[in-house]
Amino acid sequence: MTRSEQLFALAEKLIPGGVNSPVRAFGSVGGVPRFIQQANGAVIKDADNNRYIDFVGSWGPMILGHNHPAVYSAVIETAKKGLSFGAATELEVQMAGLITSMVPSVEMARMVNSGTEAVMSAVRAARGYTKKDKIIKFAGCYHGHSDAMLVKAGSGAMTAGVPDSAGVPAGCAQDTLTAVYNDISSVRALLEEYPDQIAAVIIEPVAANMGVVCPRPDFLQQLRTLCDQYHAVLIFDEVITGFRLGIDGAQGWFRVTPDLTVYGKIIGAGMPVGAYGGKREIMETVSPVGPVYQAGTLSGNPVAMAAGIAQLTILKENPQIYRHINGLGEQLRDGLRSALKENGLPFTVNGIGSLSCLFFTKQPVTGCTSAKTADTALYADYFHHMLSRGIYLAPAQFEAMFISNAHTEQDIDTALAAAKDFFRSKANGR
């Protein structure tokens, strides 16, 4: 028995499914999850001392690579002064200053502890501000696990076949309407049906929890126009894209300005952090200035802030990081496409910047319906082949591949060589 097998057997007795977040249980690819003991740069090491080039990166936040020295020492030095005060600190002000200086649409920001909490709070602020109740989300987009968002949700909810979770009271879900990603007419139809009732439209500007799906040209701008027309708050969930596609995220890449933006793990550099922010007028509805209540003892935690400040400062001051990771993203996608072509395999590679996804379907993937045509059993085969070659991918088809600044061209070539062997074996019918 490997150490990971031993730990999983024990964990299954103590933790539901043996894990603290469903996707990591390997449920959709089978086998035993690798228990990770350590990580450095682009490499993670499991409990049996197997080393892998990591393309998960804690689902995004390790954009500088694991255990970056500046982040590490910020955490250690800050921890020496105390772990939590439940009171205001200078670090929180610095963090808010950094975010607002990097993202022009964010005039004020409020720290929370996760992307889930940030979405929940942003939606509440939008409802409080507009005095309307309904929200529109998109099928296959994942916005964390608050009740109102577990409607046609992506990520683990999609692979586990529970896009509409049990335990969500009908009353909580009835105000969540779902539209079709990349189909502006589906949004327009909902706004026309409920012209005075839509508080907000929330979207992952690049969907990265149904695999990676990019917005069609103009789709985000058309959303912006519709939201203005119907006085709905446009919320960009940039938990994945924020500070990853560039310092101003997807909104900078596509030049579309949301009213509110939600951030998650990336602003904690690996510590549990989230934030929401945007137009001052909307943010000033939040308590203690306004009537929208939202609070948290650990929000703006000093150690988490110090980690995030170190990471965001490096990203702000080093634009070459984005050239590097986006270049590696292109190298990866080009390499996958040409290896598929060489082997006569018709599969689809999507991506943008340092986010990529290989879908085992021959259809172009433009939204949830086409994403779901992917052969998840074949992805499971691919995943295990790559794992056996020392490449750690997301243990589920409907997730992104993340590249960090610690990855090298050589790492991408190593991953491509392993993928090519898999494609060759499939082309030969093995």
Q: Which H or E run includes 314?
A: helix 302-317
Strands 401-402 and 355-359: antiparallel
Nearer to ligand HOZ by Cβ, of 58 and 285: the residue is 58
Partners of residue 279 on adjacent β-strands: none
Placement of tokens 């939204």 in the chain: 367
Write down the least CB distance from residue 22 to ligand HOZ, Å.
Answer: 7
Contacting positions for ligand HOZ (CB under 6 A): 21, 23-24, 59, 142, 155-156, 209, 399
Q: Is the Cβ–Cβ distance between 352 and 427 less than 8 Å?
A: no
288 preceded by a cis bond (ω within 30 of 0): yes
Residue 419 burial (CB count, 10 A)? 22
Q: Which of 52, 134, 137, 142 is catalytic?
A: 142
Nearer to ligand HOZ by Cβ, of 59 and 129: the residue is 59
Write down the least CB distance from residue 265 to ligand HOZ, Å.
Answer: 8
Placement of tokens 């390997």 in the chain: 26
What is d(CA 6, CA 90) in angstroms, rounded to the nearest whole number?
44
Alpha-helical runs (H) found in 140-262: 156-159, 170-173, 184-193, 219-229, 249-254
What is d(CA 403, CA 309) in angstroms, rounded to the nearest whole number?
21
Q: Which of 132, 134, 265, 279 is catalytic?
A: 265
Nearer to ligand HOZ by Cβ, of 210 and 283: the residue is 210
Residue nearest to ligand HOZ (CB): 21
131 included as an active-site residue: no
Placement of tokens 């948290």 in the chain: 296
Nearer to ligand HOZ by Cβ, of 56 and 96: the residue is 56
Write down the least CB distance from residue 293 to ligand HOZ, Å.
Answer: 27
Q: How many residues appear in the chain?
A: 430
Q: Which of 46, 54, 175, 237 is catalytic?
A: 237
Write down the least CB distance from residue 171 to ligand HOZ, Å.
Answer: 25
Write down the least CB distance from residue 330 to ligand HOZ, Å.
Answer: 23
Alpha-carbon distance values, 125 to 67, 133, 199, 200 (Å): 35, 11, 10, 10
Nearer to ligand HOZ by Cβ, of 156 and 335: the residue is 156
Spatial CA neighbour of 151 closest among 164, 138, 162? 164
Nearer to ligand HOZ by Cβ, of 8 and 129: the residue is 8
Angle between helices 302-317 and 320-342 (to 10 degrees): 80
Residue 85 burial (CB count, 10 A)? 12
The SS3 of residue 161 is: coil
Write down the least CB distance from residue 217 to ligand HOZ, Å.
Answer: 25
Placement of tokens 């502006």 in the chain: 184
Nearer to ligand HOZ by Cβ, of 142 and 263: the residue is 142
Residue 275, φ and ψ in degrees, nearest 5: -160, 155
Nearer to ligand HOZ by Cβ, of 155 and 251: the residue is 155
142 included as an active-site residue: yes
Q: Is the Cβ–Cβ distance between 43 and 410 less than 8 Å?
A: no
Write down the least CB distance from residue 20 to ligand HOZ, Å.
Answer: 8
Write down the least CB distance from residue 145 to ligand HOZ, Å.
Answer: 8
Return the structure tokens found at 34: 């690798």
What is d(CA 44, CA 166) in angstroms, rounded to the nearest whole number?
34
147 included as an active-site residue: no
What is d(CA 355, CA 59) in angstroms, rounded to the nearest whole number?
11
The SS3 of residue 194 is: coil
The catalytic residues are 142, 237, 265
